[in-house]
């Protein structure tokens, strides 16, 4: 199955029409199930700062965020990005959800994250997230896999090149370019170990920006998927039968202490603190993550905490280059692909800098 045919000849003339000076703002938010939603507002003209945007609202009873008898949920604009779909002055607006009384709505983990980032500001926490994900076709099968069968075992697919080794490269390239256009700090992409599984990296980002940029990159992935008939999945273990890798969201983390000369000392101090709060971290490191953290397929076990230099079977890996230079960052390999990055960044800062 290929790209679904869109009648580009019919559609294109409309897309070439001028907008009469108006701007389309796509308000985007996280719903009650951890999925994403969006709707569009016409603005009178170009906007250059998120503060110029109005709050909006939506029917929370249709997104598992509010009961029907009191259904209004408010959308507070948090960050704006150029819109790669509509182009021009049109924008994407990432929002946080609030109940009418001003308390954070269901799944608004940005609220607490921002508080913690403000408390930790002087440490300048940087994050780099490695978002792994799996592509599915409209029949619910991994994209490009033989119908009713399986591809050859894992081996040639990670960073693969060549027919039969790479799946949906055109789609991945489209997403990469859209992220760059939108100003997302995407730092790279690679094909993963399981065929039809990919990774993009976002970062380094400081503080709250990490969650904002990762969520927006996910939105673009889901949205572009519509055009290919592809459903990206963030499930940490999309296939439980057979020897197929799961999907994670490795969290690379540093502060001005770890990045300074001799920062490896601070890295070891952070690891010591992290070892004492393993379960509190696992709690927010993604649903169904225990299906992935088996101790096999380049993962550590969900129940024990380990750390090591260059060890891809550990909970925390110190990259070899960081150990040699004696400063830099650590990699937490435990977070699953379906994490809320606001929660993960928040608990990381809480454990290492606040508590």
Point out which residues bind ligand ADP (CB under 6 A).
126-128, 130, 187, 201, 203-204, 250, 252-254, 259, 328-329, 331
Q: Which is nearer to Mn ion, 73 or 79 (CB)?
A: 73
Taking the C-alpha atoms of residue 255 and residue 206, their distance in angstroms, rounded to an integer, is 9
Residue nearest to ligand ADP according to CB distances in the complex: 128
SS3 state of residue 214: helix
Q: Closest separation between CB of residue 247 and Mn ion, Å?
A: 8
Q: From Mn ion, ligand ADP, none, which one binds at residue 252 (CB under 5 to 8 Å depending on kind)?
A: ligand ADP
Residues 196-225 that bind Mn ion (CB under 5 A): 199
Q: Which is nearer to Mn ion, 84 or 203 (CB)?
A: 203
Roughly what angle, to the nearest 10 degrees, separates helices 169-182 and 209-228? 140
> Edge-to-edge, what's the strand order for the sheet holding 56-59?
36-43, 23-30, 91-98, 72-82, 56-59
Long-range CB contacts (within 8 A, 24+) of 136-142: 136/196, 136/230, 136/231, 136/232, 136/233, 136/238, 137/1, 137/229, 137/230, 137/231, 138/1, 138/229, 138/231, 139/1, 140/231, 142/167, 142/194, 142/195, 142/196, 142/238, 142/239
The verdict on 332 binding Mn ion (CB under 5 A) reads no
Angle at 282 between CA 324 and CA 185, to 5 degrees: 60
Q: Closest separation between CB of residue 311 and Mn ion, Å?
A: 12
Burial class (CB in 10 A: 0-12, 13-18, 19+), 160: middle
* 350 φ, ψ (degrees, to nearest 5): -60, -50
Q: Closest separation between CB of residue 331 and Mn ion, Å?
A: 5
Q: Which is nearer to ligand ADP, 26 or 331 (CB)?
A: 331
Residues 128-167 that bind Mn ion (CB under 5 A): 130
Q: Closest separation between CB of residue 36 and ligand ADP, Å?
A: 22
Taking the C-alpha atoms of residue 238 and residue 336, their distance in angstroms, rounded to an integer, is 12
Q: Which is nearer to Mn ion, 237 or 250 (CB)?
A: 250
Q: From Mn ion, ligand ADP, none, which one binds at residue 142 (CB under 5 to 8 Å depending on kind)?
A: none
Q: From Mn ion, ligand ADP, none, which one binds at residue 127 (CB under 5 to 8 Å depending on kind)?
A: ligand ADP
Q: From ligand ADP, Mn ion, none, which one binds at residue 167 (CB under 5 to 8 Å depending on kind)?
A: none
Q: Closest separation between CB of residue 250 and ligand ADP, Å?
A: 5
Q: Closest separation between CB of residue 333 and Mn ion, Å?
A: 6
The one among 76, 123, 235, 250 contacting Mn ion by CB under 5 A: 250
Q: From Mn ion, ligand ADP, none, which one binds at residue 329 (CB under 5 to 8 Å depending on kind)?
A: ligand ADP
The answer to whether the CB of 167 falls within 8 A of the CB of 135 is yes
Residues 114-133 that bind Mn ion (CB under 5 A): 130
Which stretches of 106-147 are DSSP H helices? 110-119
Q: Closest separation between CB of residue 305 and ligand ADP, Å?
A: 19
Name the residue among 230, 218, 248 with its Cα closest to residue 94.
218
Q: Which residues bind Mn ion (CB under 5 A)?
A: 130, 199, 250
């Amino acid at each position: 199955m290929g790209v679904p045919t869109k009648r580009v000849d019919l559609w294109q003339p409309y897309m070439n029409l001028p907008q009469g000076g108006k701007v389309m703002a796509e308000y985007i938010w996280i719903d009650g199930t951890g999925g994403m939603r969006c709707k569009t507002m016409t603005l009178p003209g170009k906007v250059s700062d998120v503060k110029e945007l109005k709050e909006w609202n939506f029917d929370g009873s249709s997104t598992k965020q509010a009961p029907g008898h009191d259904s209004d949920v408010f959308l507070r604009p948090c960050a704006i990005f150029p819109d790669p779909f509509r182009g021009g002055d049109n924008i994407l607006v990432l929002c946080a959800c609030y109940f009418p009384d001003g308390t954070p709505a269901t799944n608004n983990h940005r609220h607490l994250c921002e508080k913690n980032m403000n408390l930790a500001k002087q440490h300048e926490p940087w994050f780099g997230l490695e978002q792994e994900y799996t592509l599915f076709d409209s029949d619910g099968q991994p994209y490009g896999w033989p119908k009713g069968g399986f591809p050859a075992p894992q081996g040639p697919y990670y960073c693969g090149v060549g027919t039969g080794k790479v799946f949906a490269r055109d789609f991945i390239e489209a997403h990469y370019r859209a992220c760059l256009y939108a100003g997302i700090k995407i730092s790279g992409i690679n094909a993963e170990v399981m065929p039809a599984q990919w990774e993009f990296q976002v970062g380094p980002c400081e503080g709250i920006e990490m969650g904002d940029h990762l969520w927006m990159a996910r939105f673009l992935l889901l949205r572009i998927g519509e055009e290919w008939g592809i459903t990206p999945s963030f499930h940490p273990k999309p296939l439980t039968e057979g020897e197929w890798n799961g999907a994670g969201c490795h969290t690379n983390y540093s502060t001005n202490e770890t990045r300074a000369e001799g920062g490896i000392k601070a890295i070891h101090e952070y690891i010591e603190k992290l070892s004492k709060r393993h379960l509190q971290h696992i709690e927010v490191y993604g649903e169904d993550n225990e299906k992935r953290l088996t101790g096999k397929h380049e993962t550590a076990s969900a129940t024990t905490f380990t750390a090591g230099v260059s060890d891809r079977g550990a909970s925390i890996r110190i990259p070899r280059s960081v150990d040699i230079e004696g400063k830099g960052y650590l990699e937490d390999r435990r977070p699953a692909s379906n994490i809320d990055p606001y929660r993960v960044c928040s608990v990381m800062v809480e454990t290492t800098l606040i508590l």
